[in-house]
Amino acid sequence: MTTLQQCCQVVSADTDVCSGCHDRYPLLVHSLCSLRWEYPYGIISQDPIDEQKQQQNEEQFTNSLCYHFALFQHPRPHAWSPLAYLAELGFVHGNKLCISRGWDVNDIHVNERQMVSTSLSHAMGSPGWRRLAVVTVLLEHGATDVIDIFRPSGYVIQGSPALKEAVDLALVNQGMGHDLDLDKDVIRLLLDHGSLINSPYYAGGTHLARRTFQAFSKPEIEWVPQLLHEYGACLDVVFLRHDGLVDSFVGEFMECCVTKFPPDICQYVLAHGAKIGRPIYEDNIVITLLTDSNTREYFAWNVFCAMDPQYIYGHVGWSEDRCKEMWDQRISFLHHLGYDINALDCIVGVGGCKRDETYLHLEYCTALDWVSTIGKLQENEGSSTWYRYRLLVSSVLIQHGAKVLPRVPASNRTWRIQEVRHYYRALMA
């Protein structure tokens, strides 16, 4: 194997096998390529009568794969576990044999893009007529879809990659006109075994958040949020952290909605359970505090003044008349719902380091105060676009009765700090 690795320096785009190996190890290369492409798919049978033959073929292939997995990885470097590979092929008997040989059913792989995968999530890519059986085998042998992901800062988040793959695949299959009964059965099976339906750490927000917007424009996929609701899905997630505090995302989703969508969609989201307003004064609850690493500003907006970070940094052009209309519609909508435009539930402040400790000086303020204060350092750097945008927003707020009231010092508590440039990118794809 060492000799083989030493000669492997130039990889062919067509075969994923080193060009030097073609000349020096032609028989080995042929065997590896056959193992990768021809053998697995040639032994899959859709005929239940051939199940015994299917089992023999799968077990024969599994024995070869487990014994020579290091060699198998050479033409397929992204294969990280024989169990995950067999699960993706839909090999029920192969999975059982692989597990009996000691391969961990809960091994986790994180790729270069920080995407997390497991054998269970790979099983979502197996052929439709075998997927439910493979998932059942993995779950019966202790597979879990509750995955702890450790951030560099030491903070632990949780997600369920198999559930995400299952929901995504179901929508793809629906778009292709396939029968959805199987997809729904797989989703239900995962949820019955504890998949995290309300994890907020997916790239597009919670499962329900992503699918609620899709269902607004595509009523034919309304079954997705309905199914998720059956299992307790919600748009404003609250859950207990490892340190005993409570992580709350209440109010954040609606803040994102009003920055991107007109009142009719916002009303639709409210009807599906979204809430307005964060639990900002409860010290045992952890909420998001945004920061700008360049200016050391720390802040949190409310639903009246939340805005797309692209405007703060002048990354998008905008029409003054159109922006005035959108802000006027938003504030009128919120007024109609009875919310107070002068609530002291925004946060402004600065942070720094003193004796190797990070300190924050934060205050609660109104929406108008927030807009009038935040981002002034950007203006000093010459961001005239942001200056004009702040003036426009301030004028609309004032027309609706917004005021600057005396600030209240914020309590010393734990915050979930996130860079503002990436905030909505993570909250909603």
Q: What is the 3-state secondary structure (H, E, C) of 227-291?
A: HHHHCCCCCCCEEECCCCCEEECCCHHHHHHHHHCCHHHHHHHHHCCCCCCCCCCCCCEECEEEE
**3-class secondary structure per residue, 58-122:** HHHHHHHHHHCHHHHCCCCCCCCCHHHHHHHHCCHHHHHHHHHCCCCCCCEEECCCCCEEEHHHH
User: In the prediction, which pLDDT does 369 show?
Assistant: 95
- CA-closest candidate to residue 105, choices 51, 147, 63, 68: 147
User: In the prediction, which pLDDT does 310 show?
Assistant: 67
Cα 82 from chain centroid?
26
Q: What residue type is 307 in one-letter code?
A: M
pLDDT digits (tens, 9 = 90+) for 185-235: 999 999 999 999 988 777 667 888 888 878 888 888 889 999 999 999 988
**Are 280 and 364 within 8 A, CB to CB?**
yes
Adjacent-strand bridge partners of 346: 365
DSSP string, 383-410: -HHHHHHHHHHHHHHHHTT------EEP
Average pLDDT, the chain: 80
pLDDT above 70: residue 389: yes
How many residues appear in the chain? Answer: 429
pLDDT above 50: residue 429: no
User: In the prediction, which pLDDT does 143 show?
Assistant: 94
pLDDT digits (tens, 9 = 90+) for 130-182: 899 999 999 999 999 998 877 655 667 788 999 999 999 998 988 888 878 98
pLDDT above 90: residue 49: no
DSSP string, 338-368: T--TT-S-EEEEEEEEETTEEEEEEEEE-HH
Adjacent-strand bridge partners of 360: 351
Q: CB count, 10 Å around CB of 386?
A: 19
Q: Region 410-421: what's the mean pLDDT?
A: 84
Q: Region 73-79: what's the mean pLDDT?
A: 71
Q: Between these two residues, 40 and 70, which has the higher pLDDT value?
A: 70
Range of lowest pLDDT (145-149, 201-205, 281-285, 345-349): 201-205
User: In the prediction, which pLDDT does 50 show?
Assistant: 73
Above pLDDT 90, what percent of the chain?
34
Confidence at 311, pLDDT banded by 50, 70, 90: low
- Determine the Cα–Cα distance for residues 379 and 390; give it in Å rounded to an integer: 10
User: In the prediction, which pLDDT does 211 show?
Assistant: 86
- CA-closest candidate to residue 396, choices 293, 303, 327: 327
User: In the prediction, which pLDDT does 176 show?
Assistant: 85
Domain locations in the chain as residue ranges: 1-79, 290-429
Lookup result for tokens 């905008």? 318
User: In the prediction, which pLDDT does 78 show?
Assistant: 76
